[in-house]
Amino acid sequence: MIDHRTLLISRPCIAIFVLAMLIGPADLTYADAPHDANAVNRIVGTVVDHDGHPVAGVQVGAANRKLGYITYSGDGRLFVYGQDKRVLLFFKAQNGSSSVENVTDEQGRFVLSNIMDGPVNVAAAHPQHGVAFINNIDPLKDGSEVKLTLAAPIFASGRVQGVPAQHYSPMPGDAANQYKYARFTPVAPQTPDDIMYNISITIGPDGRFQAGPLPPDIDKWTLAFDRRARNYSATILEIPVTISKLTEHPIDIDLTKGKKLAGAIRGPEDELLPDVSISTVRSDGIRVGGVSDATGNYEIVGLDDGTYTLEAKRWARRTAPG
- The closest of 81, 145, 86 to 110, measured between CA atoms, is 145
Least confident range of 106-110, 139-143, 221-225, 306-310:
139-143
Q: Kindly give the pairing relationship between strand 130-137 and strand 120-126.
A: antiparallel
Q: Is the pLDDT of residue 37 over 70?
A: no
Q: Give Cβ neighbours of residue 83 (< 8 Å, ≥ 6 apart).
A: 67, 68, 97, 98
Please give the residue that has the higher pLDDT: either 190 or 181. 190
Percent of the chain residues past pLDDT 70, beyond the cut: 74
Model confidence over 80-115: pLDDT tens digits? 998 766 665 555 456 778 999 999 999 999 999 888
The single-letter code of the amino acid at 69 is: Y
pLDDT at 86: 63
pLDDT band at 26 (very low <50, low <70, confident <90, very high): very low
pLDDT at 186: 92
Please give the residue that has the higher pLDDT: either 59 or 218. 59
Contact 134, 162 (CB under 8 A): no
Q: Is the pLDDT of residue 39 over 90?
A: no
**Which DSSP state fits 68?**
-
Model confidence over 218-264: pLDDT tens digits? 888 998 887 766 767 777 788 888 887 655 567 888 888 888 888 99
- Cβ burial 190-207 (10 Å sphere, 16+ → b, else e): eeebebbbebebebeeeb
pTM: predicted TM-score of the whole model, two decimal places: 0.71
pLDDT at 170: 39
Q: Is the pLDDT of residue 123 over 60?
A: yes
- The closest of 47, 81, 76 to 64, measured between CA atoms, is 81
Q: Kindly give the pairing relationship between strand 84-88 and strand 78-81.
A: unpaired
CATH class of 37-149: mainly beta
pLDDT at 40: 65
pLDDT at 19: 36
Distance CA 107, CA 103 (A): 11
Q: Is the pLDDT of residue 322 over 50?
A: no
Rounded average pLDDT over 27-36: 31
Rounded average pLDDT over 7-19: 40
pLDDT band at 169 (very low <50, low <70, confident <90, very high): very low
**Phi then psi dihedrals of residue 158, to 5 deg:** 170, -160
